[in-house]
Amino acid sequence: MDKLKSTTVVAIRHNGKIAIGADGQATLGNTVVKDHVKKIRKLNDGKIIIGFAGSTADAFTLMERFDEKINAYGGIMKRAAIELAKDWRTDRYLRKLEAMMICINAQELLLVSGTGDVIEPDNDILSIGSGSMYALAAATALKKHAPSLSASDMVKESLTIAADICIYTNHNFVIETL
């Protein structure tokens, strides 16, 4: 059976706000199996929001582990992300999970991967998933050439451009702002 294909998740910090959004499509091979998947979740009483791409079951496993780390480290997102990345690389079970996460709070944007990466971008833009490069290019251009847009509007437009190009990304968006 083919694995579920990725998605597009993008996060942008702009003018003191951080927004994160994702499309809602899940595919199996070249077939759309669901078009309203919620790939954005709030943690820590809404102070942290994550977006995930990759295998859905793997992403939920990582989200649960991340939530445990957040609670264990007093809500400090960066510390929780680093500890999750360490576990993800070294734990025999977690090491096989195929997903990525973007984590945001009011101050930070972090990309967490199974290779042990915890990345905070220089340009205040992160994207993951099959349409990530399209969304990243669009977000970069919007920040440079349309600075009057809000972070949320930039996320929406970046996802729209990715969905117009990437067959594994649709136009059913969920967008959250901090």
Backbone angles phi, psi at 13, to 5 degrees: -105, 125
Mean pLDDT of 124-152: 97
Residue 38 sits at the vertex; the CA angle it makes with 114 and 149, to the nearest 5 degrees, is 90
> Alpha-carbon distance 106 to 21, whole Å?
15
Q: Give tens-digit pLDDT for 57-110.
A: 888 999 999 999 999 999 999 999 999 999 988 888 888 888 899 999 999 999
Indicate the pLDDT class of residue 55, thresholds 50, 70 and 90. confident
5 has pLDDT over 60:
no
> Alpha-carbon distance 152 to 11, whole Å?
9
Q: In the structure encoding, which two tokens stand for residue 60, read together?
A: 């939920």
Q: Which residues are catalytic?
A: 7
> Alpha-carbon distance 151 to 144, whole Å?
12
Half-sphere exposure of 83 (CA within 13 A, CB side): 16
> Alpha-carbon distance 59 to 55, whole Å?
6
Please say whether the structural domain 8-170 has been given the CATH code 3.40.50.150. no
Of residues 174, 177, 154, 178, the one with CA closest to residue 52: 174
pTM of the model: 0.94
- Where exactly are the structural domains of the chain? 8-170
Indicate the pLDDT class of residue 114, thresholds 50, 70 and 90. confident
Q: In the structure encoding, which two tokens stand for residue 129, read together?
A: 């998933």
More confident residue, 28 or 51: 51
> Residue 3's pLDDT is what?
46
With contact defined as beta carbons under 8 Å apart, do 83 and 74 qualify?
A: no
